[in-house]
Amino acid sequence: MKATTSTNRAVVLLGGALLVAMIINLYLIFMLAPEERSMGQVQRIFYFHVPSAWVAFLAFFVVFIASIFYLWKKDRTYDMVAYSSAEIGVIFATLVLITGPIWARPVWNTWWEWTPRLTLFLVLWFIYLAYLMLRSFVEGEERAARFAAVFGIVGFLDVPLVYVSIRLWRDIHPSPVIAGGEGSGLHPDMKLAFFFSLFTFTLLFGFLLIYRFQLQKSTIAVSEIKKQLAY
Amino acid sequence: MISKVGAILWKDILSEYRTKEMLGSMVVFSLLVSVIFNFAFPPGSELMREAAPGILWMTIIFASLLGLNRSFVYEVDKGCLQGLMLAPVDRNVIYLSKALVNFIFITLVEVLVLPVFSIFFDLNVINSLLQIFLVLILSTAGVAIIGTLFSAISVNTRSREIMLPIMYFPVFIPVIFGAVQSTKAILQEQPWSVIWGWLRIVIAFDVIFLIVALLTFEFVIEE
């Protein structure tokens, strides 16, 4: 049980660091970063939107790597990492899909625009939702892990193909030009707020991943004990 | 290896020839879909011809689902998969022959449906038959490659008929794009470079996922 207490301490430590980072992050986003000239306050959602997208990508990449390792080594730990990471990824992809339209409504004057990045995220969201559904639809832990690993690999390799095809599609049917792309000529304070937010979200991802992983471990331990008591 | 693939292939073709279940239902289903899609447009509308490539591919993808859903159901339900796995063949032989069967059946359905479809939607496919055939072959290969892998997974899940499209549709989006847009470009007689731009995506999809499927199939049917 010694190992458990030391990981628990790590979780608490990471959680504390995260809390501090989040408070600083909120200060930077809402107090320090100047108001954007043409978009106004709504631009501040960008500090949540882009880091969420980054975390979602990171999470799906972790799913991909952990899935390969699971099929290779057959170690349950890798599967638990993949599962935890997929759940977190779907949550953050959902956040991207919610914050995007909130920003787009006043700025583009429409909730939804079929831009390459938006469409890509929608497709990603569907792929990893399928991943989670697949896991709950399969009987047997080991089998679910194998199937999910195969799907996790296929799903991630599909991402560049989806992106290339959407890009090509929009090139043929050009969308109205959107004035001033994100990231073009950011104020230094904005840059600071943005990169700090990126850091905070990555920390949040690490925290959630470890936490979810621990939770899964406990669930398995409980079901083992239940089994022993049943016989 | 080729003779082993051929043996399983022949078994499936023979059982289909005797039951005529899958091909018949796929052809009738795809004709029905293409008729029903017609009612979404005002009669004689120019929109219909614009949307025809998309509708053609939706029809093919829905019809292919019927075949893909079935392709492992018999094997699992009647315990034949156990027999196949006991046979002294590599797992990839089973995958390749199953993918090939699906490819042949879906292509057959397309060949039967395309003439009727082009009459319904008033398309001139005769002039560019060879190009359209190329698109059909490459995209159907994508259907068979990824569809066979996923149907081997979905057959082992609860409510298997639902799980297959949920996995298959989002992953298959690059090929849907490639197939629909290249068909559109062919029908509008656009230059080859435009068509090729789209076909490249389909070819990349086929190659990448054939390799992935061959590497991972053993984990899908391992018991």
Instruction: Please give the tally of structural domains in chain A.
Output: 1
CB contact under 8 A, A151 and B167: yes
Domain that holds residue B23: 2-221
pLDDT greater than 70 at residue B219: yes
What is this structure's pTM? 0.86
Question: Which of A137, A142, A153, A156 to mutate: most B Cβ within 10 Å?
Answer: A137
Indicate the pLDDT class of residue A171, thresholds 50, 70 and 90. Answer: low
CA–CA distance from A196 to each of A86, A190, B13 (Å)? 24, 10, 61
CB contact under 8 A, B219 and A149: yes
More confident residue, B135 or A108: B135
The torsion of the CA quartet B96, B98, B99, B100, rounded to 10 degrees, works out to 80
Indicate the pLDDT class of residue B173, thresholds 50, 70 and 90. Answer: very high
Residue range A26-47: mean pLDDT, rounded: 79
Tens-place pLDDT, residues B57-116: 999 999 999 888 888 887 787 777 777 777 778 888 889 988 999 999 999 999 999 998
Residue among B202, B166, B210 at smallest CA distance from B182: B202
CA B106 to centroid of chain Cα atoms: 5
CB contact under 8 A, B169 and A126: yes
pLDDT greater than 60 at residue B36: yes
pLDDT greater than 90 at residue B193: no
Q: Is A68 on the interface with B (CB under 8 A)?
A: no
Bridge partners (DSSP) of residue A138 are B157
Q: How many CB pairs under 8 A join A and B?
A: 84
Work out the burial of residue A110: count CB atoms within 10 Å of its CB; fewer than 13 is exposed, 13-18 middle, 19 or more buried: exposed
CB contact under 8 A, B170 and A123: yes
Listed in sequence order, the residues at least 6 apart from A41 whose beta carbon sits closer than 8 Å to its beta carbon are A35
| Least Cα separation, residue A153 to chain B (angstroms) | 8
Instruction: Please give the tally of structural domains in chain B.
Output: 1
CB contact under 8 A, A165 and B177: yes
CB contact under 8 A, B156 and A147: yes
Contact (CB, 8 A) for A166 and A124: no
CA–CA distance from B88 to each of A34, B61, B73, B84, B85 (Å)? 70, 34, 22, 8, 8
> Does residue B157 sit in helix, strand or coil?
strand
| Least Cα separation, residue A126 to chain B (angstroms) | 6
CB contact under 8 A, A168 and B198: yes
Chain B residue at shortest CA distance from A124: B170
Return the percentage of chain A with pLDDT > 70, whole number. 90
Question: CA-to-CA distance for A91 and A87, rounded, in angstroms?
Answer: 6
Residue range A56-80: mean pLDDT, rounded: 93
> Which residues of chain B approach chain A closer than 8 Å at the C-beta?
146, 149-150, 153, 156-159, 163, 166-167, 169-171, 173-174, 177-178, 181, 197-198, 201, 204-205, 208-209, 212, 216, 219-220, 222
Chain A residue at shortest CA distance from B202: A161
- Burial pattern A117-148, b for ≥16 Cβ within 10 A else e, equals ebbbbbbbbbbbbbbeebbebbeeeebbbbbb
Contact (CB, 8 A) for A33 and A47: yes
CB contact under 8 A, A168 and B166: no
Indicate the pLDDT class of residue A3, thresholds 50, 70 and 90. Answer: low
Tens-place pLDDT, residues A172-213: 544 443 344 444 566 777 888 888 888 989 989 998 998 899
CB contact under 8 A, A130 and B212: no
Q: Is A104 on the interface with B (CB under 8 A)?
A: no
Question: CA-to-CA distance for B177 and B189, rounded, in angstroms?
Answer: 18
- Looking at residue A70, its pLDDT comes to 94
Chain B residue at shortest CA distance from A162: B174
Helix axes A141-172, B192-221, angle to 10 degrees: 180
Chain B positions in Cβ-Cβ contact with residue A60 (cut-off 8 Å): none
> Does residue A40 sit in helix, strand or coil?
strand
Domain that holds residue A88: 4-230
Residue range B12-28: mean pLDDT, rounded: 83
CB contact under 8 A, B212 and A153: yes
> Greatest CA separation found in chain A?
69
CB contact under 8 A, B157 and A137: yes
CB contact under 8 A, B166 and A133: yes
Q: Is A159 on the interface with B (CB under 8 A)?
A: no
